[in-house]
């Protein structure tokens, strides 16, 4: 009798503890479910509340090139086909985020201000358009391309960025351009073109305009130097 009286209260206590544990577990599950629903609703509504900044995409403008005159350059309007390879880029510029710097040792990015294409692609297209418009050669083609080319132009983007100096912002562009004889891949000419243009305002859109203007300066210099460079390789 005494044993039964001891066992029953203990059994009852154990059953109560087990029941309480189940109740706590169920309550915990409900809290977890409610939290998940709240988190889902927050993630769904967050963009609508303007929490994620809008991403802006930029490209460069092209200045129509003036046709090359033949009076001062015997190499102008040359009867050759020039092949233009896709430009490469320094590692930090092989990114669609716009770079801004105030030190040669630190690189910063606008995460929500991006180029519409990689800088090397924008520059390649700009070079092709510039040289085609200039009529310096009989034909300018993008490589790879079928058919024979007389010379190959290759290049590398060395700078394509915002440069901050004091209270002024600048748009920088720099290109290394090389011309090859295609059969032996013999380099006949190499030159670096660079320009820096002050931004009209201290805002990313004005910096993009300044970078575009700097690139146009580089391309005009390339257009002027190319005929004599190719003539020297003939």
Q: Kindly report, residue by residue over 159-211, the tens digit of the pLDDT.
A: 999 999 999 999 999 999 999 999 888 999 999 999 999 999 999 999 999 99
Please give the Cα distance from 139 to 234 (Å, whole number). 17
Chain-centroid distance, C-alpha 83 = 24
Helix (H) or strand (E) segment spanning residue 49: none
| Per-residue pLDDT at 54 exceeds 80 | yes
Q: Which of 157, 33, 143 is nearest to 91 (CA)?
A: 157
Model pLDDT, residue 200: 97
Model pLDDT, residue 74: 43
Model pLDDT, residue 39: 61
pTM of the model: 0.76
Q: pLDDT tens, 120-150?
A: 999 999 999 999 999 889 999 999 999 999 9
Pairing of strands 168-181, 186-198: antiparallel
Q: What is the DSSP letter of 148?
A: -
Sign of the Cα pseudo-torsion (72, 77, 79, 80, in order)? positive
| Per-residue pLDDT at 89 exceeds 70 | yes
Residue 159 tokens, joined: 């700078």
């Amino acid at each position: 009798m005494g044993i039964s009286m001891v066992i029953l209260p203990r059994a009852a206590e154990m059953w109560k503890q087990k029941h309480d544990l189940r109740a706590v577990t169920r309550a915990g599950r409900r809290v977890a479910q409610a939290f998940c629903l709240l988190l889902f609703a927050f993630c769904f509504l967050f963009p609508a509340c303007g929490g994620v900044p809008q991403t802006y995409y930029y490209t460069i403008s092209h200045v129509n090139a003036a046709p090359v005159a033949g009076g001062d350059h015997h190499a102008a309007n040359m009867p050759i086909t020039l092949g233009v390879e896709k430009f490469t880029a320094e590692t930090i510029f092989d990114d669609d985020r716009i770079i801004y710097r105030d030190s040669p040792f630190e690189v910063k990015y606008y995460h929500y201000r991006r180029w519409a294409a990689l800088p090397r692609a924008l520059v390649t297209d700009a070079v092709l358009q510039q040289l085609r418009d200039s009529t310096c050669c009989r034909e300018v083609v993008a490589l790879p391309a079928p058919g024979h080319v007389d010379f190959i132009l290759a290049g590398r983007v060395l700078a394509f960025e915002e440069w901050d100096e004091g209270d002024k912002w600048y748009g920088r562009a720099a290109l290394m351009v090389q011309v090859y004889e295609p059969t032996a891949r013999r380099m006949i000419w190499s030159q670096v073109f660079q320009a820096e243009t002050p931004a009209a305002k201290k805002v990313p859109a004005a910096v993009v305009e300044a970078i575009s203007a700097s690139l146009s300066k580089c391309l005009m210099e390339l257009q002027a130097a190319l005929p004599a460079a190719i003539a020297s390789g003939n």
